[in-house]
Structure 1
């Protein structure tokens, strides 16, 4: 999670310093992509953890 937060912070800094709308939109979309990837990673980890501890699947 620390790597993703660092990336998001860097993208926000770049977005804030950019004067072109297209660049700001790109940085914003990249932030959304990173956040969505993190949500999916957490969901997959939770699913793996849940399935590995499910005694009916042993």
Structure 2
């Protein structure tokens, strides 16, 4: 996980803890989940690109 993602997750967590309304807290918790899932998708996409690039059958 890169520094930007860590920072985003930290900010979402901090905002969720400081939120007074249930809707705001739920939003920031869902935002944290979204950030984690996007990080996973980016990692998988980078792996796919690397895998396709190094596919010896296409050389």
Instruction: Indicate the RMSD between aligned Cα atoms, in angstroms.
Output: 0.8
Give structure 2 stretches of 5+ with no counterpart.
none
Displacement, 1:13?
0.6
Structure 2 equivalent of residue 36 of structure 1? 37
How do 1:1-58 residues align onto structure 2 when only pairs under 5 Å count?
A: 1-58=2-59
Whole-Å separation in 1 of the counterparts to 2:58 and 2:21? 54
In 1, the alpha carbon distance for the partners of 2:53 and 2:12 equals 36
Measured in 2, the distance between the counterparts of 1:33 and 1:57 equals 35
Q: List runs of 5+ in structure 1 lacking aligned partners.
A: none
> Across the two proteins, how many residue pairs are aligned to each other?
58
Calculate the TM-score normalised by the size of structure 1. 0.92
**Runs of 4+ displaced beyond 3 Å:** none
Taking structure 2 as the reference length, what is the TM-score of the superposition?
A: 0.91
